[in-house]
Amino acid sequence: MNCATFVKRNVTETGIHGLPYLMRKDLHWTERLFWLGIIIAATYYSIFLSLEQWKHFQENPLVFAAELTWDKKNFLYPGITMCSDFRNALMAEEIIMELWQLTPNDTRYDYYSNFLQVLNVLQYDTLETLLPYKNDSTLWGIDYIDILTKLQTPDKSEVQISEKKSIIFAPAITEVGLCRTTSQLNKYTNPSGEIKSLEVSPVQYCLFMSICFTKLFPEYSDEAEVFVYLHNPLDVVAPNDITNVYQTAPQGRVLTVDLEITAFSAEAQVRRIPIEYRKCRYPDESNLKYFETYSTALCCMEHRIHRAMKLCNCKPHFYAVAAELPTCTIDQLLCLQRHNWTQTNCTFCLQLCEYMFYVQLQQSIEQPMHGLQLEGVMGQKFERTVNIQLNLPYRGIRRRVVFSFDEVVVSFGGAFGLFLGASFISTYTIIKIFGDFLVLNCLQFCRQQLRRRRRFRVRVI
């Protein structure tokens, strides 16, 4: 089949509007030229509309729609992470004696005692507090996590109190220091360095139209400052993030925090859309190196680890994962501070397609029993208390698919059908004719090669 035959078959056999007129010899050449212009214009607008629809699919395949939550059966109760500046004085003496062989009577004892206090309250954004200890070789090679664990070991009376509590906390090394958490992802904050989940209270759910209220007794001494973070229980604490509620529990007072849930859900069809188009991820779609589960907080933590390695060739001790990486020394932590490591940009970390976070409506601090301390009653002081009340929402936000891949295909067909009259059958016809053209020309070429070889053999003989 030669090219002229191929073109003629396509023009005469296809169902595309206008093409048969180009081959009709009973028409004037100006009329055929007119039809050629019509076909070119229709093809242009068909391609233009198809590209616009494809662009729309890439940029905005989803919309956020408000929905009523009255049919929801349960809501996640917030996870709790508690941090404190508590320091066990007896353990501090033992640490100083073990590491630097000093007693409280030695002149350098206060220097190392102050260092332990700075380390005890050190956070990822307060690294400048380590400046007085820069270039001190006596502080090299120490295990920060081991020191923090010993410093915050409660005495016997506190252990007895903690056994009476109904909420089970697990130790967690976080970007705000060594804390206690009920996060279900505590394996990523395990101070031991093992990616192993620790025992915590199970996830609690609140039924719709019920009153969700929890009374929390922080397991720290009355002299210590206690900081409470309320966050999604299926995530880790993310300080300075709008999705985390942060409060300080005052000594001998009742702190009451009223929360409201902001819930994002998604239709089942959302998962079918590619990640780069829907611009969100599910927890099982992790692209992270150190975390099998995906969340925005974990993504930002990993990016901070990578940036710390790039800037100062170390990993801060705030992160339990990536145990194979070298842990930052004091000089390297100050190196991170000089490079504004805390300003790490995490905007590229995608949100979860389905998640919920908590918004603080109000908080109040009250004196127990109308301002009267219970000291002397039963021989005890009033224990600091945190009341957490969760208000369930009447509305939520749902991701809906407004432009799926199936609709893109349909829109392509609609555009080409409207302007050119093209359909699946006409497209199939063009593909079939093109296939015939390739096969017949390949067979003809092979036959010509065989004939040439035979003629060459006859001449040689």
* Residue 35 to residues 29, 311, 422, Cα–Cα distance (Å): 10, 65, 16
Instruction: Specify the higher pLDDT residue, 401 or 226.
Output: 226
The share of the chain scoring above pLDDT 90, in percent, equals: 37
Which distant-in-sequence residues (6+ apart) come within 8 Å of 458 by Cβ?
A: none
Q: Which residue has the tokens 């010509």?
A: 448
- pLDDT (0 to 100) of residue 423: 66
- pLDDT (0 to 100) of residue 186: 94
pLDDT for 250-267, tens place per residue? 888 888 999 988 888 888
Is residue 235 within 8 A of residue 183, CB to CB? The reply is: yes
Region of poorest pLDDT, from 172-176, 230-234, 270-274, 377-381? 377-381
Asked whether the CA dihedral 93, 97, 102, 103 is positive or negative, the reply is positive
Beta-sheet pairing, 212-216 with 226-231: unpaired
Is residue 179 within 8 A of residue 83, CB to CB? The reply is: yes
- pLDDT (0 to 100) of residue 71: 63
pLDDT for 143-152, tens place per residue? 999 999 999 8
* Residue 457 to residues 397, 443, 451, 452, Cα–Cα distance (Å): 80, 21, 10, 9
User: Burial level of 199, CB count in 10 A (0-12/13-18/19+)?
Assistant: exposed
Distance CA 87, CA 135 (A): 25
Phi and psi at 416, nearest 5°, equal: -70, -30
Confidence of residue 456 (pLDDT cuts 50, 70, 90): low
Question: Which run of H or E residues covers position 280?
Answer: strand 280-281
* Most confident stretch, 14-23, 120-129, 201-210: 120-129
Q: Which residue has the tokens 């995530």?
A: 235
pLDDT for 12-58, tens place per residue? 656 676 667 677 777 777 877 887 888 888 888 888 887 887 777 77
* Residue 246 to residues 81, 237, 240, 356, 424, Cα–Cα distance (Å): 10, 10, 9, 16, 59
Gyration radius (Cα) of the chain, Å = 35
* Residue 55 to residues 15, 62, 403, Cα–Cα distance (Å): 28, 13, 11
Quick one: average pLDDT of 231-235?
Answer: 93
Torsion of CA 337, 340, 341, 344, to 10 degrees: 160
- pLDDT (0 to 100) of residue 372: 45
Which distant-in-sequence residues (6+ apart) come within 8 Å of 107 by Cβ?
A: none
For residue 278, pLDDT over 80 is answered with yes
Confidence of residue 157 (pLDDT cuts 50, 70, 90): very low
Q: Which residue has the tokens 């590229």?
A: 348
Confidence of residue 243 (pLDDT cuts 50, 70, 90): confident
- pLDDT (0 to 100) of residue 95: 94
* Number of residues that make up the chain: 461
DSSP for 23-77?
Answer: H-TTS-HHHHHHHHHHHHHHHHHHHHHHHHHHHHHHH-SEEEEEEE-TT--EEEP
- pLDDT (0 to 100) of residue 234: 92
Distance CA 35, CA 20 (A): 10
Is residue 266 within 8 A of residue 378, CB to CB? The reply is: no
For residue 401, pLDDT over 70 is answered with yes
DSSP for 209-230?
Answer: TS-EEEEE--SS-TTS-EEEEE
- pLDDT (0 to 100) of residue 335: 94
Distance CA 257, CA 323 (A): 37
The residues facing 66 across adjacent strands are: 397
Which distant-in-sequence residues (6+ apart) come within 8 Å of 461 by Cβ?
A: none
Instruction: Pick the closest to residue 14 from 452, 429, 436 (CA basis).
Output: 429
Asked whether the CA dihedral 411, 414, 420, 424 is positive or negative, the reply is positive
Give me the sheet containing 170-174, strands edge to edge.
170-174, 177-181, 79-84, 226-231, 245-249
Instruction: Please give the mean pLDDT across all residues of the chain.
Output: 82
The residues facing 395 across adjacent strands are: 68
The share of the chain scoring above pLDDT 70, in percent, equals: 82
Tell me the pTM: 0.75
The domain segmentation of the chain, as residue ranges, is 3-60+417-454, 74-401
Q: Which residue has the tokens 């400052």?
A: 225
Q: Which two three-digit tokens encode residue 1? A: 């089949």
